[in-house]
Structure 1
Amino acid sequence: MLDHHLDALFQAAADRDPDRLFGHASQLYAATEDADEATLSAVAARFGEVFDLVPPGIGARLGIVAGALAERGADPAPLAEPLVGQLTGLLEQSAAFAAAWRSATGEAPPEPDDDDPDWLRNTAGRLTGLPEHEAFELADAWASVYMAHMPILSILQLSPKLRAALPGRERLVAALSAVSGDRDDLEWLAGLLAVLEDEHLIVLHRETGRGYEVVIGGIGDNFQLHTLLADVVSGPEDHGLIEGVQPDPGWVMAASDGDVDPEDGPVHGQFNLVDAYGKWIWNEGVPADVPKLDGVRVVVLDPPPYARSWSPGRRYPMMPGTIRLERILPAGEAAAWMARIAPEGGSE
């Protein structure tokens, strides 16, 4: 049955019949409701081949189905290359659209309006100086890029392997950066592309002089990092850990792989996070913002200068946050690190 739907999907793509194409894509997805992961993965792998057969605007709509298959349990790896390639091309065309729009109108590019059936035609018509077909393609890319980025949000949240080694990442990041000033609606993707995976941190507790090496992954912001750091270094003093900083278990679960909206809130901050150079590590930032010292990101745990609280959860609900205490640093190694960091009382 699933092969039948896939065959029909590819035939519709070959016939350039979008109505049939979307109809078969919807039927295919409905037919996978009870499929196991192996079957879903086989379907997704073949589904990923259809993107080479359709224009990017149509592919952006098909990408929603691809992302939904991944969320249902399909291995997202075979989908990554076609989805990233499609999105990157649309982003590059979007940058060209923004430049052409400014040149033609002197204005900032407009927000796409899905509720206006004439938006695409009217917008393309204002790109004076371009051939009609080129103006339409650029406007269509500008309108399609949001939908095209949505399945990338899904597969990146679901796969640590893709976060660590996404095909086409460098070109995608460059294309995204070129339009980020005009497209606030893509900031969630920018955040996901900055997520660190299998990243080693040196964590220093200034008050006790203790040090730790931890390994993090899937952490979307420093609110989440703050909660998980407090959990991983908390414990009995005679075990080399820090007493009195244990966060509520509900907060920890919400920051790792539990319910993202628990009743155990708000979270209360246990520390003031500071980098090796004395700058505050703001909770609103991301772990990738923490600067390196000799190739390693260093987080210093200082006493909180005032009470901080925030809602429990994760910025990216489908992405489990992980942290592992790799080792407690020997006293001499911890002291050596402490001697190299900026003194307490650094700038905000």
Structure 2
Amino acid sequence: MIFRRKAFLGAVSAFENAVRTHDADAAERAFAQLHAVYAKAGDGEFREAGPRLAALLDDVPQGPRAMAAVITGACVERGADAAACAPGVLAGAQEAFAAAEAFCARWAETGGGELPDPENDALDDEVVARTGYEQAIGWWTLPQWEMASVAVLNAKAVRQGSGGKAGLLARVERVAEASGHEFKCLAYALRVLDDEPLVVLHRESGTGYAMRMSGLGDNFQLHTLLAGALIAGGQVSGDAPSAREIAVCRDAPGQTPTTGVFNLVGADGGWIWNEGTPSDIAVVDGVRLLVLDPPPYQRGWPAGRLFPGMHGDLVLERVLDAREAADWFAKVAPAKG
């Protein structure tokens, strides 16, 4: 353990010194050593190394910067302070997606065609000549930036404290539209809502509920937690999910089969797809408003979390009284036949 600690944190120190003295050869050697030994480091070493590496990211050359961000993200997953590591990682992701956006534009301007696959194609001189080096590196490193960004966004403090989420999401969406690549993990992580009020109306019983949700990666997770809060909680009738199904949607590891018991519907009568995110639920009079109808067909899926490192929560704060529920029902479209 002593040797491994010296190897990992020694590589971190060597990398810091090389980056700060602008010694490219030493930085390359230290980075290679860092990459070779980090997987064997202990949790305490990861906790120490994460903020140190994050503080360097802005000064690391564009190519290895993305891999340094991945190692920083790995440190966060092993206990490093996500809030301390996030600014460097998310700023780097912003730059990479900005470069990738320019890459897609230049690719289209210079003849178009199928875009190179960053994970399977080599970056060659022809691509650089068409798009520019910085733009090409931005495109090629997006998978690494997505991985590192999701690692820090697993932390609620980062999601709540990052003022640049909307700008990054807009860039991600523009690059996705221009390229046809989805970047689903990062886009969904940036859409996660925390401490978000939600009014839920159960149409069959005419009842309503004030709820609050945090850390839900998709509507599959929301669906199961709604059934847990309302059916398992004794508010409405139906087939309740098991304690295990509810637990894996909160913070327990793994997945387990479940079956849908509702159809999630917006105030306008449109379906809220399980494949989407809670951010798809429209805001009505200052709060997201969701209607629960009977499912039109039986559908099952693996209950769990899209982001295993992100804890989810859905809290029933109070049952609406009959008059308040009726007021909310007056704002929604009738059930569709």
What's the TM-score, normalizing by structure 2?
A: 0.89
Q: Which residue pairs with 2:172 in the alignment?
A: 176
Q: Which residue pairs with 2:3 in the alignment?
A: none
Structure 1 runs of 4+ off > 6 angstroms?
none
Deviations 1:76-126 (A, max 9, x none): 11111111111111111111111111111232432235563xx33231134
Deviates further, 54-63 or 241-250? 241-250
Deviates further, 320-329 or 159-168? 159-168
Q: Which residue pairs with 1:92 in the alignment?
A: 98
Q: Which residue pairs with 2:263 in the alignment?
A: 272
1:283 correspondence with 2:283: no
1:55 correspondence with 2:61: yes
Q: Which of residues 157, 163, 184 is equivalent to 1:161? A: 157
Q: Which residue pairs with 2:320 in the alignment?
A: 329
Deviations 1:15-54 (A, max 9, x none): 112432313423673574141xxx6444322221211221
Distance in 1 of aligned mates of 2:113 and 2:243: 51
1:256 is matched by which residue type in structure 2?
R
Distance in 2 of aligned mates of 1:219 and 1:108: 34
Distance in 2 of aligned mates of 1:50 and 1:235: 49
1:193 correspondence with 2:199: no
1:21 correspondence with 2:30: yes
Distance in 2 of aligned mates of 1:236 and 1:261: 21
Instruction: Indicate conservation of the 8 Å contact 1:211/1:328, yes or no.
Output: yes
Distance in 2 of aligned mates of 1:236 and 1:136: 57
1:6 correspondence with 2:3: no
Task: Map 1:32-47 onto structure 2 (within 5 A).
Answer: 32-35=41-44, 40-47=46-53
Report the alpha carbon displacement of residue 149 of structure 1 after superposing the two structures with TM: 2.0
Local SS of the residue matching 2:330: helix
2:124 is matched by which residue type in structure 1?
L
Deviates further, 9-18 or 200-209? 9-18
Task: Map 1:69-148 onto structure 2 (within 5 A).
Answer: 69-112=75-118, 114=120, 116=122, 119-127=123-131, 135-148=132-145
1:233 correspondence with 2:230: yes
Instruction: Indicate conservation of the 8 Å contact 2:264/2:293, yes or no.
Output: yes
Distance in 1 of aligned mates of 2:328 and 2:281: 16
Q: Which residue pairs with 1:131 in the alignment?
A: none
Instruction: Indicate conservation of the 8 Å contact 2:98/2:171, yes or no.
Output: yes
Instruction: Indicate conservation of the 8 Å contact 1:121/1:136, yes or no.
Output: no
2:127 is matched by which residue type in structure 1?
T
Q: Which residue pairs with 1:313 in the alignment?
A: 304
Distance in 2 of aligned mates of 1:156 and 1:70: 10
1:215 correspondence with 2:209: no
Distance in 2 of aligned mates of 1:29 and 1:236: 45
1:51 is matched by which residue type in structure 2?
L
1:245 correspondence with 2:239: yes
Q: Which residue pairs with 1:292 in the alignment?
A: 283
What's the TM-score, normalizing by structure 1?
A: 0.87
Change (3 A) 1:54 1:284: same
1:311 is matched by which residue type in structure 2?
P
Q: Which of residues 328, 337, 340 is equivalent to 2:331? A: 340
Local SS of the residue matching 1:184: coil
Report the alpha carbon displacement of residue 230 of structure 1 after superposing the two structures with TM: 0.7
2:212 is matched by which residue type in structure 1?
V
Instruction: Indicate conservation of the 8 Å contact 1:277/1:342, yes or no.
Output: yes
Change (3 A) 1:126 1:337: closer
Distance in 2 of aligned mates of 1:215 and 1:137: 43
**Unpaired segments ≥5 residues, structure 1:** 128-134
Deviates further, 330-339 or 224-233? 330-339
Report the alpha carbon displacement of residue 187 of structure 1 after superposing the two structures with TM: 2.0
Distance in 2 of aligned mates of 1:88 and 1:219: 23
Distance in 2 of aligned mates of 1:293 and 1:165: 25
The Cα RMSD (Å) is 2.2
Instruction: Indicate conservation of the 8 Å contact 2:106/2:130, yes or no.
Output: no
Local SS of the residue matching 1:251: helix
